[in-house]
Amino acid sequence: MKRRMDESSDEQLVERAQGGRMDAFAELAQRYQQRIYHTIFGFTKNHLDADDLTQETFMAAFKSLDGFRGQSSFFTWIYRIAVNRTLNHLKKHRREKDREELTDNIQPAEERGSASRSPELNSLAGELRQKIEEAIEALPLLYRAPVQLVLFQGLSHGQAARLLRCSENTVSWRMFKARKMMQDRMRPYLKVEESHEMR
């Protein structure tokens, strides 16, 4: 039975879950829990918040499952719920600045080949990554949301626009503004790095 459930498509599982099969919804949750968690953590940088919001996302999805009509994939639907709940959470807790836990999973591409780099270069790369993360954290939520969705979640500007309920041009403009704000914040650090390299 478990094997057949694992081989079922999302559409089949949704149909069974809508018919009252709790095990079908549990299978959907198991398939996507980690991806939803990492998406939320990309915004919150807080494991407890990400855990809570992941649970809230699946609870909200379960309660709203009868309204799911399959116009998008199940993952797209629940992803939209997760992002909206996370953005609402961040708006309510905008003043909470202390982030105790950071992850290296946000920019995995930067870790490739790190074993072959010198300790000094690894240290500089770590510092640069931290400065970039700080620059992103300092962005107003209006600009941080599209950065997270486009740069770290891999969404297109059009997909991000649908999630954020704005036009694609608005997303592109906010991305442009976000990059400029990040560059301005990073400029003093980059000047220091340049002065080290000149020595």
Q: Which domains does the chain have, with CATH numbers?
A: 9-93 (1.10.1740.10), 115-199 (1.10.10.10)
Which of 93-111 are b and which e, b meaning 16 or more Cβ less than 10 Å from the residue's Cβ?
Answer: eeeeeeeeeeeeebeeeee
Tokens of 110: 């930067």
Q: Which parts of the chain have pLDDT scores under 50?
A: 1-3, 95-117, 195, 198
At residue 111, the pLDDT reads 39
At residue 118, the pLDDT reads 57
Tokens of 31: 């398939």
Reported as a single tens digit per residue, the pLDDT across 20-32 is 899 999 999 999 9
Amino acid (1-letter code) at residue 23: D
At residue 192, the pLDDT reads 54
- Beta-carbon contacts of 174 under 8 Å, excluding residues fewer than 6 positions away, are 142, 143, 146
At residue 176, the pLDDT reads 94
Residue 147 region by backbone torsions, left for phi larger than 0, else alpha for psi between -120 and 50, else beta: alpha
- Separation CA 89–CA 93 (nearest Å): 6
Cα distances from 44 to residues 1, 143, 175, in angstroms, run: 38, 15, 19
